[in-house]
Amino acid sequence: MPGRNIIEEGKHVLVRLPSEAVKVILLKGDSYISLGKFGTFSVTGVLGYKYGQSFEILENKLVRPVYSLIDDTKPLLPEDSNTFSENNQNLINTGSLVQKLSTQDIEELKKQGKGEDIINQIIAGHDSFGKKTQYSQEKYLKRKQEKFLRRFTIEYLGGSEMLQYYRSKDPQRVLDMSSESMGLILSYANIRPGGNYIVVDDTGGVLLYAMLERMENKGSILVAHENEHPNLIALKYSNYPQELLEKMVSNVNWLQFLEADTQRPQWKDYPQEKIDSFTPSRRSHYLRKKRASERVNHILDTVEQGSFDGLIYASTIYPSTLISKILDTVGGSRPVVIYSPFKEILSETFHVLQNDHRILAPSIYETRVRQYQTIIGRIHPLMTAKGGGGYVLHATRVIPKEGGVTAVGRGIKSKRLKVIDPKADTRQLLKQ
């Protein structure tokens, strides 16, 4: 897969820092990227490495490749090299007095060089470091690493990374969607090359971007939206060429979608002589309008055909009232996947769908990933994690039998009698 392997100039990438913060940056050749307190590096230094490579910032904005950002598997301090306490009995909180180095000293050190040296000096300047327990020393060191290690990792900006970036900035912007919920949506929606999907995306295009990644340039997506133009802000970081996006992604607003009869652009070609007589700017304006109306009509045609390969819904518009209006556009045996940060909203929708014969077996799923510390001998779940993550409703669009069909179950006998012999009921009543 070209483009996803090697760090190249001109691409948007994800930068991961020891503090677990993430950034999206554009790798412009001959430019410098500032990572705030972690330092500044020259873009040329990272080009040509594989995605996933970690670097350390040296003097003069140069970098050197390092094995990893932080090694999470072994204790940071070798077992026998340090003094430590069995417990914290003798550890007394003296506030800032415990550190011999002043803030100014540390600032000075930061200007000079390597993060490891700073950390070593801070430890040397720490009066009661030896009075901490081994576990406490580890935690202290890890905090200092997150702060002073001038390291970073460059990762390919895929769907998960884009989601992580936006979620860390402001969870609401991606409807608090977790990466595991996104994975579940993409699996249940059966996203694959060649599909023709309809998506309602209030994550600013993050979900759309993740879908495109699973389609590998094949198929199409119709974005239905509530404003005059769709908000697909995340696509500005995508490394897809504009032509490809235009080819695969089209959009329609709810007015056009739900009232297609009255919203179709009526287009009549002018006679060729008249077009020939236009000034060049008038002609290009005319052709642009013609193309636009053709495009809208084409989109409305596909809506009317009603054969989308899946409906993917992650919107703040109340799904309970909207979904039934768009169900007819989804093909038989195709998935309907609705995401919401709130289980209550999906519960309402569930009830609506349960009474709709075009829908089979709705279920609400909740998926949560719990991360563990991986230091051997000290494996336990992390003490804190992100809350939220959202819920996913999945159902299948089906085609009910015309005229209905009697279910087998309670009351089948009397229902059958009703169907087979209209007098049966009276006879039964007379018997009673």
Please report, as residue ranges, which positions from 132 to 161 form the binding site for another protein (by CB under 8 A). Answer: 153, 156, 158-160
The alpha carbon of 259 is separated from its chain's Cα centroid by a whole number of angstroms, namely: 31
User: Do residues 176 and 167 lie in contact, with contact meaning Cβ atoms separated by under 8 Å?
Assistant: yes
| Binding residue for another protein, selected from 97, 407, 422, 431, defined by CB under 8 A | 407
**Taking a C-beta distance cutoff of 8 angstroms, is the pair 326, 353 a contact?**
no
Minimum distance, C-beta of residue 193 to another protein, in the bound complex (Å):
5
Residues of span 73-102 touching another protein by CB under 8 A = 73-74
**How far is the C-alpha of 57 from the C-alpha of 406, rounded, in Å?**
72
**By CB under 8 A, is residue 12 in contact with another protein?**
no
Residues 293-322 that bind another protein (CB under 8 A): 307, 309
Task: Name the residue nearer to another protein (CB basis): 144 or 334.
Answer: 334
Asked if residue 413 binds another protein (CB under 8 A), the reply is no
Tell me the C-alpha distance between 347 and 361, whole Å.
Answer: 13
Question: Of the two residues 331 and 388, which places its CB atom closer to another protein in the complex?
Answer: 331
Are 98 and 126 in contact by the 8 Å Cβ rule? The answer is yes
Q: How far apart are CA 149 and CA 37, in angstroms?
A: 10
Q: How far apart are CA 187 and CA 304, in angstroms?
A: 26
Of the pair 270, 342, the CB lying nearest another protein is at 342
Out of 30, 60, 64, 67, the residue judged to bind another protein by CB under 8 A = 67
Q: In this chain, which stretch among 24-32, 215-223, 279-287, 296-304 interacts with another protein, using CB under 8 A?
A: 215-223
Nearer to another protein, 62 or 419 (CB): 419
Q: Is 186 in the site for another protein (CB under 8 A)?
A: yes
The footprint of another protein on residues 361-400 (CB under 8 A) is: 361-372, 374, 376, 379, 381, 391, 396-400
Nearer to another protein, 30 or 402 (CB): 402
From candidates 31, 52, 318, 386, binder to another protein by CB under 8 A? 52
How many positions of this chain bind another protein (CB under 8 A)? 86
- Nearer to another protein among residue 126 and residue 397 (C-beta): 397
Should residue 277 be labelled a site residue for another protein when binding is judged by CB under 8 A?
A: no
Structure tokens belonging to residue 377: 């001998």
Nearer to another protein by C-beta: 273 or 402? 402
Residues within window 332-361 making contact with another protein, judged by CB under 8 A: 332-335, 343-344, 346-348, 350-351, 354, 357, 360-361
The CA distance from 387 to 295, in Å, is: 42
209 sits near another protein (criterion: CB under 8 A): no
Q: Is 291 in the site for another protein (CB under 8 A)?
A: no
Quick one: 72 exposed, middle or buried, by C-beta within 10 A (0-12, 13-18, 19+)? exposed
Q: Are 231 and 206 in contact (CB under 8 A)?
A: no
Judging by DSSP bridges, how do beta strands 40-42 and 32-34 pair with one another? antiparallel
333 burial class (0-12, 13-18, 19+ CB within 10 angstroms)? exposed
Q: Residue 227: CB partners within 8 Å, gap ≥ 6? A: 253
178 close to 390: Cβ distance less than 8 angstroms: yes
Cβ at position 205, least distance to another protein in Å: 18
In whole angstroms, what is the distance from residue 333 CA to residue 315 CA? 23
